Amino acid sequence: MKNKIRPLVAALALTPLLATAALPQYAPVTDIRLANPEPQNWLSYRGNYASWGYSSLKQINTQNVAKLKLAWAYSTGMTEGHQSPPIVNNGYMYITTPNNQVIAFEAATGKELWRYKKTIPEELQQLHPTNRGVALYGNKLYLATTDATLVALDAVTGKELWKTAVADWKKGYYMTLAPLAAKGKIMVGSSGGEYGIRGFVAAFDAETGKEAWRTHTVAGPGEPGGDTWPADTYKRGGGSVWITGSYDPDTNLAYWGVGNAGPWMPDTRAGDNLYANSTIALDVDTGKLKGYHQYHWNDGWDWDEVSAPLLIDVERNGKKIKSLVHAGRNGYLWLLERTNSKINFVDAWPYVTQNVFKSIDPKTGRPTYDPARTPGTGKTVNFCPSLWGGKDWPPEAYNPGTGLLYIPANNNLCSELTGEPAKYNAGELYIGVSIDNILTNVRMDDKARKHVGEVQAWDIKTGKKVWTHTYPEMNWGPLLTTGGNLVFGGGTNDRKFRAFDATNGKLLWEFPTNSGVTGVPSTFEIDGEQFVAVQSGWGVDAQRMQGAFDAVLPHKTVVPQGGVLMVFKLEQ
């Protein structure tokens, strides 16, 4: 009976549940709209190509945010980490959930329009059962799935239009990021560094799904940087890409963050290991590597640098800089210069406790390391920040009104790791540290027991921190900032979603949600009314970090799981 039911369920999942006549005609998403997004919409992962996480909407502001009330909510029926932003186009809203599901809504009311779920192989074990959102382009919607497939749907009906296998999931490749759409191409990267994949960014024709180009993030023999990998280690060298890239339409360059090299122990792959732990600049037409900056070489700390840099034009020391700004998992805040090709180092400084770097080369930005803090096979070391970094994947936000960069940080936290030999078998974990060690890695001194999580605000022009809001434990909250002089974010194990004064960090509003908020917030406007939307749903690495805290603290914290989309507006 089970086998007879499954095809019926799969077919129903592909069938639009409900059409609507209340919504306006769907507005195609064009390159021009993506480059200059209307404030009433939220068309992409971070709201604009520069990855600011900013909206100029200001109906909800510091004077009235205390009157913010729940307008509608929707239970997704899924557990684990709900991390995608609600994407909004002309009254249509789209979210993704764990288990490769897309749900479309009427944004003003919460009426479900359709639901799509990509069926994945039963034997596929999802190491990170999450999804970080869709891309909109033309009249289509694009989803990257954990069986390494790129899917195109009709944005109005949810009908599947095409799907393309991007990589072999049996070898450990999987995708969790929101695709990046530009110039007729849909770009994605692959996760799977823990399984010994060779990372890449690939582009596909938006209409047909045909592959246009593929650029590996781990350099091979004969390629620039290929000599930074010994023997054949590049074949399984990691370099995952699991967060959406930024894009500069003026230079046609997309900037992607690249994860750590694998396996974790650096003595197994002596060399710089390009382009792991880097930002790379790729030509969107060809995929050609035009420039890069490696934040740290020969990583041994699991410090993925996958968050794409924010594109911010700043004046610093009397010079105008088209910059790339990145709050590194390695605990340093990086200021780089983007050009039409190479990436130049400008400055870097620690924004959380960091005891690994002994110096930064003032010309190149290359760090030197404390050998006592550098992991190795058969060696136990303690280092800060922890393997989850000063900031993990949850994105920063930039507000052009205040000129401040906002960082969801974890400060004062350290790790202890013991390296062990790793043997590669396709599709199996290839890490070099035991799972038990990873799940109990955190080490907390008196400062960490006082507080870990922070929301920080930095003036990039001066390099000075302007304000900090602290939490007793971790912060996994992606940030949104607005023209109403507000910063929104969750990320704490007390389940709250908060709003701060963007200028001084004063807490102005908070709301207890059903679960922990690790979703990317967004905001939009319909018929002159502003809304703020976010998914609450704790899981994946936030829960794993919680388990590591529970292992060393005298108390345990239970964060309820289960995803709910929450949409807020001002009380009338």
Q: DSSP for 78-116?
A: --S---PPPEEETTEEEEEETTTEEEEEETTT--EEEEE
pLDDT, tens digit, 9 for 90 and up, residues 206-229: 999 999 999 999 999 999 999 999
Cα end-to-end distance, the chain, whole Å: 52
Q: Return the pLDDT at 13.
A: 44
**CA gap 387, 381 in Å, rounded:** 12
Q: Which of the residues in the chain have pLDDT under 50?
A: 1-20
C-alpha distance from residue 391 to each of 20, 350, 410 (Å)? 41, 12, 6
Provide the CB-side half-sphere exposure for 489 (13 A, CA). 34
Give me the catalytic one of 272, 299, 302, 541: 302
Say if strands 496-501 and 486-489 run parallel, antiparallel, or are unpaired: antiparallel
Q: Answer for the pair 91, 531: CB distance below 8 angstroms, yes or no.
A: no
H helix runs in 171-324, sequence order? none
Q: Looking at residue 538, what DSSP letter applies?
A: -
**CA gap 161, 44 in Å, rounded:** 20
Rg, Å, the chain Cα set: 22
Containing 143, the helix (H) or strand (E) segment is strand 140-144
Q: What is the DSSP string of 354-406?
A: --SEEEE-TTT--EEE-GGGS-BBTBEEEESS-TT-SS-SS--EEETTTTEEE
Q: Return the pLDDT at 22.
A: 76
Other Cβ atoms less than 10 A from the Cβ of 142: the count is: 26
Q: Return the pLDDT at 89.
A: 98
Identify whether 302 is a catalytic site residue. Answer: yes
